Amino acid sequence: MRAVVLEEFTGPLELREIDPPTPGEGQVLVRIHASGVNPLDTKISAGRAAHARVQPPAILGMDLAGQVVETGPGVNGFAPGDEVYGLTGGVGDLQGSLAEFAAVDARLLAHKPATLSMREAAALPLAVITAWEGLVDRAGVRAGHKVLVHGGAGGVGSIAVQLAAAKGAQVFATVSAARMPVVRQLGAVPIDYTSVPVERYLAEHTGGAGFDIVYDTVGGTVLDASFEAVRTYTGHVVSALGWGTHALAPLSFRGATYSGVFTLLPMLTGQGREHHGDILRQAAALVDDGKLRPLLDGTRYTLADVADAHRSVVNGTANGKVVVDIEP
């Protein structure tokens, strides 16, 4: 099969011919149709993501959509011909999705949303799981909540906006002025973070009381601002990028709570992989009900163009999620 191989960090991504894998116990062999590109993929390639535990040579790519070719021993719920999607590899010792085939843990897969193309489905898994673990698993989002999503037009942020709205919450999202129409269409009240300070949007949208849930998808000083924007006592801050050093005083003075999300943990440890598959099944139902959709960049890339796809993510020129088409 053809696959894109990272031989060494910071080195070129090489298109190679290698032997296809064979599915083992609990695994499914997937013919990959599309591979989603995430910012983490580019950081791994550059050697700036030790937490992903990748050792070259490696095949990158975490998100995939494709078709089941073969099932290994002990697999239930999938059969050859099934269209599937999942967050299945590209970290630890798990083969990534920048290849024509991958043998993946069946627990990490779900049947693809029927209303999405392979390209669209490949844009979802990491973003959906990250948003779900923060909003549903950690913060218990529900109708009546006021939710603030930082970075509402981004990969995780755009999904978090839609997921919170699907759960009945009133949603607000910080975004640049140019992207305000995007989050408005997704169901959130846009807040221009470049011109509106925390105190002002807190007063305008919550009467100064704070938001029930604040989801930080940006990190750094945005997480600090999240601690200032959350509701007293019952508020909950969630961050997918809470890896820096932060003062907890603003959060503590509100008596509020905080959770971190590390989406890769089941992939790296093997524990809790069933939950990833369960999230994707529930997300597929929301998609097919018209409540969730990916924001997809329109540029088409193939395995021969992976370096260009990565470059568009690094340079910030992509207008939505970048997806690589895996041609037969």
Six token digits for residue 57:
């040579």
Chain Cα centroid distance, residue 68: 22
Residues 237 and 141 in one domain: yes
Q: Which residue has the tokens 């993946």?
A: 104
Whether the predicted pLDDT of 11 surpasses 80 = yes
The predicted pLDDT at position 34 comes to: 98
Shared-domain flag, residues 93 and 133: no
60-104 per-position pLDDT tens digit: 999 999 999 999 999 999 999 999 999 999 999 999 999 999 999
Q: Please, which residues bridge with residue 99 across strands?
A: 3
Domain boundary among 209, 228, 260: 260
| Beta-strand runs (E) in 62-175 | 63-71, 83-87, 101-105, 109-111, 146-150, 170-175
Same domain? For 116 and 142 the reply is no
Asked whether the predicted pLDDT for residue 24 surpasses 90, the reply is: yes
Q: Is residue 64 part of a domain?
A: yes
CATH code for the domain of 45: 3.90.180.10
As a whole number, mean pLDDT of residues 294-299 equals 96
Mean pLDDT of 137-141: 98
Work out the number of other CB atoms within 10 angstroms of the CB of residue 274: 13
Which residues touch 273 (CB under 8 Å, ≥6 apart)?
105, 107, 108, 266, 267
Residue pair 247/32 in contact (Cβ under 8 Å)? The answer is no
The string of pLDDT tens digits covering residues 196-229 is: 999 999 999 999 999 999 999 999 999 999 999 9
- 164 and 249 within one domain: yes
Residue 190 within any structural domain of the chain: yes
Boundary (domain end) residue, out of 260, 279, 307: 260
Query: Same structural domain for residues 58 and 156?
Result: no
Q: 148 with 252, same domain?
A: yes
Same-domain check for residues 99 and 206: no
What gap in Å lies between CA 32 and CA 64, rounded to an integer? 7
79 shares its domain with 150: no
240 sits in the region (left: phi over 0; alpha: psi -120 to 50; else beta) called alpha
Domain hosting 216: range is 127-260
- Tell which residue, 54, 5, 217, 4, has the closest CA to residue 126: 217
Residue 166 neighbours by CB distance under 10 Å: 18
| Same domain membership, residue 295 and residue 250 | no
For residue 240, is it within any domain?
Answer: yes
Q: What is the CATH number of the domain that holds 190?
A: 3.40.50.720
Is 38 domain-assigned? yes
Residue 71 covered by a domain: yes
Is residue 328 pLDDT above 70, yes or no? no
Count the domains in the chain: 2
Model confidence pLDDT, tens digit, residues 303-326: 999 999 999 999 999 999 999 999
Query: Which pLDDT belongs to residue 194?
Result: 94
pLDDT band at 327 (very low <50, low <70, confident <90, very high): confident
In this structure, are residues 22 and 14 in contact, taking their beta carbons and an 8 Å threshold?
Answer: no
Length of the chain as a residue count: 328
Whether residue 15 is predicted with pLDDT greater than 90 in this model: the reply is yes
Mean of all residue pLDDT scores within the chain: 97
Domain assignment present for residue 265? The answer is no
